[in-house]
Amino acid sequence: MKPITEQIKNKPILGWVLFLGTVVVVFLLGMLASAVMERRAEAVFAYTPQVKHSQFEPRNEVWGKNFPRQYQSYKNTSDTSFRSMYNGGAMIDMLEVDPRLVILWAGYGFSKEYNQGRGHAYAIDDVRNILRTGAPVGQEKSPMPNTCWTCKSPDVPRVMNEIGVAEFYKGSWEEKGHEVVNHIGCADCHDAENMNLRISRPALLETFTRIGKDINKVSHQEMRSLVCAQCHVEYYFNKETPVKGVPYLTFPWDNGFSAEAMESYYDQMEFSDWTHQLSKAPMLKAQHPGYEVYMTGVHAKRGVSCADCHMPYKNEGGQKFTDHHIQSPLNNVANSCQVCHREETERLIQDVYERQTKIIENRDELEKLLVHAHVEAEFAWKKGATEAQMKDILMDIRHAQWRWDYAAASHGGSFHSPVEIGRVISTGITIAQEGRIKLARLLAALGHNEAIPYPDISTKAKAQKYIGLPMDELNASKKIFLEQVIPQWDAKAAEREKTYEITNF
């Protein structure tokens, strides 16, 4: 080919074509640049504060005026349509799915009602509706303390700021019902001044201080998990310290995070959540050691945070922002997993299901052993066993069920850390079997040498009848509570919220 200058000399029209072509390209580039600038301007506009409010503003819609994208996506936590194989946003009655749980929790509120967690938008509704909080109408008190509100609402840091932390925990649950009305939201995780991530709950800060860690020295990436660790953790109510008589929210992390470390912590202080109705064992209820279990998994070890999978980045109109629709990542594999993994969506989902299914297989076996152990221990008492004879057996039941619960209640744990969960369940199986061997020996010594029949607990109703729960009564009084008391709480809260200061710009 001849050089371009020579070609133009021969055909001047070609020069003009090149010239005009360049003009058009430059013009188009100019248009593009201007569009980008406009977008930028839009973006800046979207982040220009519309209102000024206090750090303790509990209403998401007020914060949402300044950050509409985050607010709109957070509102999607009310979506209950997604169900994966075991989890998702739908309400699942776990006692119906697995009636053995009724026996494991006999004598404790969880045997009345236990549902699989839903999105953050339901935190207030669900704690009001659940039978475990009782039906405090008139002079009637709830069986639960105010401490139960702690992980439900940004009203919590607001009230704590007004009256103090211990004063917040003090008293029974219905006393602060009119104070805590907004579901989990912006103020729980953010600093209103600069929108930095913020720890709003004292329990996590106090625990860090106790175990000699400095919350101000953690990395930004760690904060993207620690905001979740304010609530998705194991905890208990300490009625002895720091304030006698107040059920003070405490994380049992002093000896470490593992099932064994927390178990030894509880054993040392001879703490128990309740005495089992059938076996009389001093039981522990694992709450939801989600953060602790996650920390033992490979993702945590590679520096992947809770937010990376549950709050991935999202693009909307050229804007990159954090998707606040906190949910099962299996409803959003493209943004949650495929930023790091190249596998097909189906493959990744199968990886998750495979781990969960294999773990649940063994967890079910441990559950059956525990039902046997409780029923056999009850039988031994009836046969005249003494406290001294039962002591070791009851400790085995306590430890085996704690391990089962540590695994079962660490929502997502069988994916977050399958190897650790598998290990904890197998130690639980060993301990449960040891306890049952001791029981068999004891029963033989008491003159009983046959198997104790497994009760018919094939449905939730049968299991609840077996332990003698008056379900009709409980449901009827709950209905009255919801109809009469809740509207009063909401009306009182609405009056108060009218007085909150909000400045429009």
Q: Contacts with ligand HEC in 125-144 (CB under 6 A)?
A: 126
Interacting residue with ligand HEC among 284, 307, 366, 463 (CB under 6 A): 307
Interacting residue with ligand HEC among 142, 225, 277, 296 (CB under 6 A): 225
Identify the residue whose tokens are 């967890």. 363
Tokens of 86: 């075991």
Taking the least distance from each CB to ligand HEC, the nearer of 203 and 283 is 203
Amino acid at 134: G
The number of C-alpha atoms within 13 Å of 272 and in the hemisphere containing its C-beta is 16
Q: Contacts with ligand HEC in 20-79 (CB under 6 A)?
A: 60, 63-64, 67, 70-71, 74
C-alpha pair distances (Å), 317 with each of 69, 98, 195, 209, 335: 11, 45, 22, 43, 16
Interacting residue with ligand HEC among 112, 224, 276, 280 (CB under 6 A): 224
The phi, psi pair for 449, rounded to 5°, reads -120, 20
Q: Contacts with ligand HEC in 78-97 (CB under 6 A)?
A: 84, 86-89
Taking the least distance from each CB to ligand HEC, the nearer of 155 and 376 is 155
Q: Contacts with ligand HEC in 417-456 (CB under 6 A)?
A: 418
Taking the least distance from each CB to ligand HEC, the nearer of 122 and 379 is 122
Query: How do strand 51-52 and strand 236-238 relate by DSSP bridges?
Result: unpaired
User: What residues pair up with 503 in beta bridges, in sequence order?
Assistant: 52
Q: Which stretch binds ligand HEC (CB under 6 A): 93-101, 295-303, 435-443, 448-456?
A: 295-303
232 binds ligand HEC (CB under 6 A): yes
**Which residue's beta carbon is nearest to the bound ligand HEC?**
412
296 binds ligand HEC (CB under 6 A): no
Q: Contacts with ligand HEC in 356-415 (CB under 6 A)?
A: 411-412, 415
203 binds ligand HEC (CB under 6 A): no
Taking the least distance from each CB to ligand HEC, the nearer of 133 and 230 is 230
236 binds ligand HEC (CB under 6 A): no
- What is the C-alpha separation between 383 and 177, in angstroms, rounded? 46
Minimum CB separation from ligand HEC for residue 408, in Å? 12
Contacts of 73 (CB under 8 A, 6+ apart): 314, 321, 323, 324, 325
Angle between helix 418-445 and 345-382 (nearest 10): 20
Binding mask 248-287 for ligand HEC (x = CB under 6 A): ----------------------------------------
Q: Where are the alpha helices (DSSP H) in 11-114?
A: 12-46, 60-66, 68-75, 94-97, 100-104
Query: Is 111 in contact with 464 (CB distance < 8 Å)?
Result: yes
- What is the C-alpha separation between 168 and 176, in angstroms, rounded? 8
Tokens of 240: 């002895």
> 333-352 in b/e burial notation, b at 16+ Cβ within 10 A?
bebbbeeeeeeeeeebbeeb
188 binds ligand HEC (CB under 6 A): yes
190 binds ligand HEC (CB under 6 A): yes
Q: Which stretch binds ligand HEC (CB under 6 A): 36-44, 309-317, 459-467, 469-477?
A: 309-317
302 binds ligand HEC (CB under 6 A): yes
Element (H, E) at 295: helix 290-295
Binding mask 310-329 for ligand HEC (x = CB under 6 A): xx---------xx-x-xxxx
The phi, psi pair for 274, rounded to 5°, reads -165, 165
149 binds ligand HEC (CB under 6 A): no
Taking the least distance from each CB to ligand HEC, the nearer of 277 and 305 is 305
291 binds ligand HEC (CB under 6 A): yes
Q: How many residues bind ligand HEC (CB under 6 A)?
A: 71
